[in-house]
Amino acid sequence: MKIFPKPLQELYLKYEEALLYLFFGALTTAVSFVTAGLSKYALERLSMGEDTVSVVSTVVSWVCAVTFAYVTNRLWVFDSDASGSKGLLREAVSFYGGRVFTLIVETVMMWLGYSLMGINYWVSKIAASIVVLILNYVISKLFVFKNNKEVNNE
């Protein structure tokens, strides 16, 4: 960070966690798209039906993206100190559980906005994505990566 002028360094340090969360979120999106494309390609080569390709590639993409997000959030965004099998398992289950919750939120928002109310698909998708981004951050900050020291001492 010393290559930047002092005011930029101070600004970065003030918002470091949020900036890292957005940076790794963008990389998580890339992981999602790449794994969706690769799994779609592989499943199509196996002559799977369109419905199977759509569902399986989406699930593969979600699992890869959430796993990538967990690792990057744990190591660099929230600097987790959870350790031991019990601490790590509790943290991972909380993280994945939060992501399942926001997946449901996004699905419901898309159904309400696009399917029920007839709002443009991409407007609905952007609105749902913003809500999910905020919820994922709050869940990670307040529930997943807090009190790691208490978990480690059990």
What is the DSSP secondary-structure string of 31-50? HHHHHHHHHHHHHHHTT--H
Asked whether residue 33 falls in the same domain as residue 68, the answer is yes
Residues 95, 33 share a domain: no
Q: What CA–CA distance (Å, rounded) separates 20 from 140?
A: 13
pLDDT digits (tens, 9 = 90+) for 50-100: 888 888 998 999 999 999 999 999 999 999 999 999 999 999 999 999 999
Both 33 and 89 in one domain: the answer is no
Q: Which of 48, 79, 110 is the last residue of a domain?
A: 79
More confident residue, 146 or 99: 99
For residue 148, what are the domain limits? Answer: 81-154
pLDDT digits (tens, 9 = 90+) for 102-137: 999 999 999 999 989 999 989 999 999 999 999 999
Number of domains in the chain: 2
Are 70 and 86 part of one and the same domain? no
Prediction pTM value: 0.84
Work out the number of other CB atoms within 10 angstroms of the CB of residue 33.
Answer: 12
Query: In which band, very low, low, confident or very high, does the pLDDT at 149 lie, cut at 50, 70 and 90?
Result: very low
Query: Are residues 52 and 92 located together in one domain of the fold?
Result: no
**3 with 75, same domain?**
yes
Is the same domain home to 69 and 89?
Answer: no
Residue 154: pLDDT band (50, 70, 90) is very low
